[in-house]
Amino acid sequence: MMNDPSAATALGMLIAPLSPAEFFEHYYERKFHRSPVKHSQTSGLLTLDRIDEIISDSELPPSAISMAKSGQSLPADEYTFSNGVVDRGAVLDNFRDGATIILPQLQFADGKLYNFCLALERQFGARVQTNVYLTPPEAHGFGVHYDNHDVFVIQLSGAKEWEIYGDREALPFRGEGFRKGQDDTGELKENFVLEAGECLYVPRGTSHRAPNHGTEPSLHITVGILVQTWAEFMLEAVAEASLRIPEMRRSLPRDLFFDRSKAQSDHAAMFRQLADDIAEKASFDATLAAFSGNFIRAQGPRVRGALRALANGIGMEDRLTVRDHILFSFEGGDGDRQIVLAGSSIPMSDRLAEQLDERIGQGSLAKADFDVDDAEELGDVIDSLVAYGLLVAKPK
């Protein structure tokens, strides 16, 4: 059972028998990899019984489920009521009639999947999400297509017959979806059956199709790696540099679109001047700080156990540990220190920040470990770090 995977364990299962170095050097963003190893622990991530429980007993807003059949998405009104509420009976009836049940971003509703995603985020430096597909026998959800993000496929039960086609000439951007009838899928390169316990990596831009195989329903998880590109980083660098280039804030010339001769001289010269200014004043460190802070803040909080700990109260001697896979950073200078983590920025005094940084680096702490003048600030900051999921208290 994969209850609390380490980053190495999570990635290792997906790419076995490759090492991380082999995977990132030879396969990542380049070519697909089918792992020949069958992993029994995949069944610990999600089961058919858990899917049954989610569909029958969980709150299901319209965005929590979708369906597809014979290569096409089903209209939402075929499995929802007129007010948008999911019609659970219609979902199951459509499944019985050959439609695939899709549970997008199920990690936000399932703790095991969420922890698995958090473990992978540190490996890829990118947001990670899951989409779950339950396909009835002798059916397929989608036709030949490519995804605009890299994916790992974890086959949990049943089997899928995979067809791998050619690659695009360049990696697609995130918003650059496959256009049926317009985009070339290339020639069929590989055909194989992915069985329960096996994993597959498919880079973005690699066309594929995966009809069901055999007489059992197929349950698989698609793990999406939502990378940020150098193009996005450079756009942020331009935006950040423009704060120090006043000319960047001026409106475009009124005759830019209408006076072609001037556009080739004066306006082109201004463009080159601004490009030179950006090259001179763009800051890698400032851009990195902005990207890093946004990445940390966007990570969903993991707060299991925090309510009980706060309800019981956290005493001076209570030992707290750092929760696995939670991202954070200390930011600011003298007199303006804060710790940034999912959903929050918590300010604190310089003295507390210095000691807290050291204690967190050691992996565990108690309030009694700190030598500070303001005990009220200490208690408030430590309790807030429990509330936002960075620190975990042992059950009393």
DSSP 318-338: --EEEPTT--EEEE--TT-EE
- Greatest Cα pair distance, the chain, in angstroms, is 78
Q: What is the mean pLDDT of residues 204-208?
A: 93
Domain with CATH 3.90.930.40 in the chain: 306-393
Nearest to 193 by CA among 223, 166, 163: 163
Q: pLDDT digit string (tens) for 290-313?
A: 888 888 988 877 888 999 999 999
CATH number of the domain at 306-393, please?
A: 3.90.930.40
Q: Which fold has domain 7-226?
A: Jelly Rolls (2.60.120)
Q: Which secondary-structure segment (H or E) carries 163?
A: strand 159-167
What's the distance, Cα to Cα, between the start and end of the chain in Å? 26
pLDDT at 6 over 70: no
pLDDT band of 1, cuts 50, 70, 90: very low
Separation CA 270–CA 140 (nearest Å): 55
pLDDT at 379 over 80: yes
CA-only gyration radius of the chain, Å: 25
Q: pLDDT digit string (tens) for 43-57?
A: 889 999 999 999 999
* pLDDT of 263: 61
* pLDDT of 18: 96
Domain with CATH 2.60.120.650 in the chain: 7-226
More confident residue, 278 or 325: 278
Question: How far from the centroid of its chain's Cα atoms is residue 135's Cα?
Answer: 24
